[in-house]
Structure 1
Amino acid sequence: MKQQMMILIVLLGILTLPESYAGEPKPLEIGSQRELFVDDYLIDKMKGAELRLHHPVDEGVVLKFDNPWEGLFCGYCTIIKDGDIYRAYYRGRPTAGADGDVGEVYCYAESKDGKHWTKPEFALFEKQGHKKNNIILADAAPMTHNFSPFLDTRPGVPKAERYKALGGTMSSGLVAFTSADGIHWKQHPAGAVITKKMVPFPYMFDSQNVAFWSPVEKKYLSYFRVFKDGIRRIARVESDDFIHWSKPVLMEYTHRNEKAPIEHLYTNQTHPYFRAPHIYLAVAARFMPGRQVLTDAQAKEVGVHPKYFKDTSDAILMTTRGDNTYQRTFLSGFITGGIGAQNWVSRTNYPALNVVQTGPSEMSIYVNQDYAQPTAHLRRYSLRLDGFASVRADYKGGELVTKPLIFDGSKLAINFSTSAAGGIKVEIQDANGKPIPGFTLADSREQIGNEVNRIVTWKGGDDLKALSGKPVQLRFVMKDADLYSLQFTD
């Protein structure tokens, strides 16, 4: 009724027609980029189908923090896949102490497959009588509290600065570091590049403060922890050169076009997804202060430090596409505490930065667990490629219709799985929802199976060149099936 009244008023010449009524929304221009169903970006409508979050599979302990300079309070881990080498970085901290004091070091491990890890021995820093160890940064407090490296993929980056990092607390600001090999680090002459004076919040930086080069936005981005109204929040800044940064913008949270609950997020771990870098994933640590699970007796039994079992935490999944909003499409936990009291202490279940591929159809997420306990370690969890979430239709069937979109390519590839009785058919419609001859539901060949890259076909074949560059809608008719992602290719 309100819309009809508005149109009537416009016809009478009283008001100018708002943009939302001036015409249909512009088609999404997705080109040949892969699109995941981690949010409702592509979705126009669903019937008998839903977005479903998938939970990573626990693959067990991959790295024990058992060296004398590592210990109970290891944390703020980063995983980087550089060609055929996987690199792990993490804070070493055997005893409790103040954030940013001299007792903290940064350690390193590496792997050839992301599953079996070793700790190389360097002679860079002597600690606790050990001249050889896996320490790559020490005597650099407070930057060793939360040192957070990344592989700089900016075209033309100097070899000596191929790796970069930020580290520091509120007292120091976030200090820039560079490295040619990810092992030998030096502080950038610019020193603190994001300072307390730049940030309009009462408390900041006391967490893992992440940065990366965005190939889509063509700039460096950093997401770091701040406090807002007593809640741990996330702010975003931008830079063209990694040295000069913009004014911070507070990130907001949306759930299905509504405001999402504001919860304590201890780390954000925001990074471009390696198969779709225009989508930034945030496998964030959700902190529940004062939510005590263990009794004193249980805490004593698992050997947790007496100051570290009064809270609990888990990991959630968020996404953002480059604005100041995280999409919390799924409010429930993504990686939750496992069986056993040791998984329900303070500051455990904190995800490492970055999701990496560890097999032809597999990717891995790493989680810091058993915090403040003698059994502290890094654990690996696996998912299928693109398998964070899916459009799911059960046995009775359902369908998904996308928003109008413009693609670039000649074939449609889908990442999907079905049961033996299930399947997916794809209809291509014009921007008005009218089936296009040759690509109707009746023309579609049913896709059955479980593949990360299946080319969709119709009776006439798989060639979509005639539709490339034109606005279309996709209609997926599904039964007992999951659709994880799609991509138009040549």
Structure 2
Amino acid sequence: MTKHLFIDNHEIEDIWNLARKIHQPEKFHANTIIRPEHRWENMYVRMWGGPVWDPSEELFKIIYLGTAAQDISALGTGAAVTLDETGASGTSGNYSCYATSEDGVNWEKPFIGLYEYDGKLWDKSPIGTDNNIIPSINGHIRGPVYHATEPDPNRRFKAQIYRDKALYAAASPDCIHWEELDEIPPHESLDVSELYYDETEDLFISTIKHRTYYGRSFFLSTSKDFENWTEQELIFHADQTDQENGFERLQKFFDDDRYLTPVRNRPEEWRTDIYHFPVFRYEDMYLALPTMHHWAGKHPPLYENVDSRKSVELASSRDLHNWHRVANRAPFMELSPIGEGRYDTGAIGATNGVIRRNDELWFYCMGSKQRSLPIADALNFGYLDSSAISMARLRLDGFVSLKGGIEWGSVTTKPIEVTGAQLHINTDSWRGRVKTEILDSESMDPIPGYTEDDSIATNIDSIDEVARWQDKRDLTGLRGKTVRLRFHLWQAELYSFWTE
């Protein structure tokens, strides 16, 4: 069974009097699943890869990057000991950290006792090995992914490790003990990349950031065995429309005091490029959640980066090489207003770790309270507890709907084969109506018994509703035939359809 969504026009012949509407996942700010709480992660927590399921332990696992803060007053002095506002000492730096969950919502940070952290607790006692740091990761992990068909149990988990502008292949039996695979040549890469494993195609997918004429851009490399990779190919970058959208989105943060205003504001330096490009498979297509990076102005010369704001869009592809910008590039995720303990007021980014749970899709997102800090805030330890990993939830198949208004509209599909006995639809039509018509694939004439007049109108909000007709309750007589479907909508939304 393959579901058919309305994200692109791949299976659509004609749309009349309907609008394509993007739906944003609902953020659950109370569902901040991982936040800075230990000395070795008290500044940032971030991840490049979502939760991975370990079937042997029946646990979700995350490897995230924890950043221990450096005392800003010691910058440039060569001081080795760093402090936070309590006076507890600790070594600054980035640490790969381990977290687990039975349900994907409630997460624990088990102390695994493998790394001697040079720091102290708030009561001045040494931390030692009482931490969740994974010492075998030399760099920043991209992934991990689980490779169920790998014959070597010590290589079931795979990842790429970023350091020194390159990605190094690594494998693990448990997500804790990692070994770099020296026989696999590294990929050149900038700081942000993603690794995904497509179980359907048995394909490893790496999306890799480089700078091009278009600014930060993303390249693709794939592998069937994790050892031999295709040459990197440019697949996604910003264009002139993104610059125009970026100006409009960035202006909001200077005009609307509900949102955090960037520290820098140099309109002559405003531009947009792509910061992050996580890819995942959904039904018979690939989806991506590109983070659009809207520059507000460059940092002073000491730090070669930019102050910015971010938004997340939705893109789709049938082959990983050609990408379609969905719903006129409307934002799929946006920064939150200030307040209520929200972490995603300055930066936001999604991962490719989308999980289906019952009637929902769960997204795992990174959020930061700020992209840049005024000097006064930095000197007052304003950089502590500044980012977190959170969840957002979306209706199953709920990325995009076709929406009908106060006048009837319709969508007609291209020819499809009837493979099941019933036609199912995912619809929100409790305020309106959806009628379903089946057409001859060649003449496009309504098939007797399956006409619009025969259709029993659907008026319900359901992710799985069966379409029915007056005298023919199922598709048994059409099974194996090629037909077209025409859905008529009045004040209703249609997300997907399938037969089974």
TM-score by length of 2: 0.77
Q: How many residues align?
A: 421
Name the counterpart of 1:19: none
Opposite residue 355 of structure 1, the aligned amino acid is V
What SS does the corresponding residue of 2:281 show, helix, strand or coil? strand
Instruction: State the 1:430 CA deviation.
Output: 1.2
Q: Which residue of 2 aligns with 1:479?
A: 490
Residue in 2 aligned with 1:416?
Answer: 427
Tell me how far apart the structure 2 counterparts of residues 241 and 260 of structure 1 sit (CA, whole Å).
38
Paired letter, 1:93 = T
The 1-side partners of 2:179 and 2:473 are apart by 53
> Cα distance, 1:147 vs. partner?
3.2
* Shift in Å, 1:226: 1.8
Q: Does 1:166 align with 2:135?
A: no
2:65 counterpart SS class: strand
Offset at 1:194? 3.8
Deviation at residue 55 of structure 1 after TM alignment: 1.0
Corresponding residue SS for 1:105: strand
Query: CA–CA distance in 1 between the matches of 2:187 and 2:279?
Result: 20
Of residues 201, 204, 207 in structure 1, which corresponds to 2:192?
A: 207
Cα deviations by residue, 1:287-307 (Å, 9 ceiling, x for unpaired): 112359xxxxxxxxxxxxx99
**Does 1:92 pair with 2:66?**
yes
2:449 maps to a residue whose letter is G
Distance in 1 separating the partners of 2:356 and 2:211: 33
C-alpha change, 1:371 and 1:187, in structure 2 (3 Å) is farther
Q: CA deviation at 1:440?
A: 1.1
Query: Out of 270, 273, 276, which is 1:267 matched to?
Result: 276
Tell me the equivalent position of 1:106.
96
Q: Which moved more, 1:402-411 or 1:49-58?
A: 402-411
1:380-395 → structure 2 map (5 Å cutoff): 380-395=391-406
SS of residue paired to 2:154: helix
Q: 4+ residue runs of structure 1 moved beyond 6 angstroms? A: 306-309
- CA–CA separation in structure 1 for the residues paired with 2:433 and 2:176: 49
Corresponding residue SS for 1:69: helix
How far residue 324 of structure 1 moved from its aligned partner, in angstroms, is: 0.7
User: C-alpha displacement at 1:79, in angstroms?
Assistant: 2.2
Match of 1:21 in 2: none
State the Cα deviation string for residues 315-356 of structure 1 (Å, max 9, x = none). 1111222241121113121110111187443xx212133211
Describe the shift of the 1:269–1:58 C-alpha distance in structure 2 as closer, same or farther (beyond 3 A). Answer: same
Q: How much has 1:117 moved relative to structure 2?
A: 1.7
TM-score normalised to structure 1 length? 0.78
Q: 1:402 aligns with which of 413, 416, 424?
A: 413
In the aligned structure 2, how far is the partner of 1:163 from the partner of 1:461? 50
SS in 1 for 2:118: coil
Identity rate of aligned residues, in percent?
Answer: 24
Mapped to 1, the partners of 2:117 and 2:305 lie a distance apart of: 26
Residue by residue over 1:450-473, the C-alpha shift from the partner in whole angstroms, topping out at 9 and shown as x without a partner, is 111112222234432433333211
Identify the residue that residue 234 of structure 2 maps to in structure 1: 250
Comparing 230-239 with 364-373, which one deviates more in the overlay? 364-373
User: Using the alignment, how far apart are the partners of 1:156 and 1:411 within structure 2?
Assistant: 38
Equivalent AA in structure 1 for residue 210 of structure 2: V
1:285 aligns with 2:285: no
SS at match of 1:147: strand
User: 2-side partners of 1:465 and 1:182: how far apart?
Assistant: 48
Residue 125 (structure 1) aligned to one of 115, 120, 129: 115
Given candidates 2, 21, 36, the residue that maps to 1:65 is 36
* Aligned twin of 1:301: none
CA apart distance, 1:260:
6.5
Choose which of 52, 56, 59 in structure 1 pairs with 2:25. Answer: 56
CA shift in 2, pair 1:395/1:310, >3 Å: same
Distance 1:350 1:307 in 2: 21
2:297–2:306 CA contact under 8 A, matched in 1 = no
User: Aligned-pair RMSD on alpha carbons?
Assistant: 3.0
- Is the CA contact 1:318–1:327 (under 8 Å) kept in the aligned structure 2? yes
Corresponding residue number in structure 2 for 1:299: none
Q: 1:33 to 1:457 in 2, by over 3 A?
A: same
Match of 1:78 among 39, 49, 61: 49
Give the structure 1 partner of residue 365 of structure 2: 367
The C-alpha deviation readout for 1:208-229, integer Å capped at 9, x for no partner, is 332313513x432222112221
Please tell me whether the aligned partners of residues 426 and 474 of structure 1 are also in contact (alpha carbons under 8 angstroms): yes
